[in-house]
Amino acid sequence: MKRLHHFAAASVVAASALLGLASAPVQATPVAIDVGGAQSINLQGEAGNTVWLIDVGANAVLNSLSWSLDLNAFAPSVLSEMQVSFGGSSGLDLLTFAPGGADFASGAGSYSGSLDLSPFGLSVGADGLLRLEFSEAYKDFALDVAEGEWLRGSLTFDVTASAVPEPGTAALVLLGLGLIGIRTRRAHAHAQTARRHVVG
């Protein structure tokens, strides 16, 4: 009976460890991306655009975006048309952001600010890759001709790592629970057999 209590206690500890892995507090990390030299070329989603893939961690959640940027729109294209779309590497469920959205002039412009992304529930996939695509909202020039350049500056994403435990860790804990269950059943069967021998 004492063994059964030990095994039961061990089961509770192992289960608690598994639950702790799944619900452990996660820490937000800023990921700053230097966008100097990126060009806005074609419409969003078209071939020929500048596309970057940044490793931010598997299933990471994007909490906020801040920026400090210098842009240059080549006339007759305007600064409000320069944009960047971001999200998972699949290219689906992207958010599109235009730093100079209210600036309808050609030439250079400087922009800074921040945006809360939490209402969008945006995260990257299991590959951990954040996709950035620089594009134009309106095409003024011929296809594949750049209409603007992101001269200097950065986009900084506040990223929260996934709280889901690594598959290997979860598997080890589950394996431990399985072994505890087997040993508990064996101990119980052994106790029943011993009891029958005593009675008989």
Total structural domains in the chain? 2
**Banded pLDDT at 163 (limits 50, 70, 90):** low
For CA atoms 162, 168, 172, 178, give the dihedral sign. Answer: positive
Same domain, 114 and 133: yes
Residue 162, pLDDT above cutoff 80: no
d(CA 23, CA 15): 12
Give the residue numbers spanning the domain of 116.
Answer: 25-160
Same domain, 102 and 133: yes
Mean pLDDT score of the chain = 80
**Banded pLDDT at 161 (limits 50, 70, 90):** confident
**Banded pLDDT at 194 (limits 50, 70, 90):** very low
Which tops the pLDDT comparison, 52 or 15?
Answer: 52
| Cα distances (Å, whole numbers) of residue 24 to 17, 103, 118, 159, 161 | 10, 44, 20, 16, 11
Same domain, 107 and 127: yes
User: What integer pLDDT is reported at residue 110 of this predicted model?
Assistant: 98
Same domain, 112 and 193: no
Whole-prediction pTM value? 0.70
For CA atoms 122, 127, 132, 135, give the dihedral sign. Answer: negative
**Banded pLDDT at 187 (limits 50, 70, 90):** low
Residue 7, pLDDT above cutoff 60: no
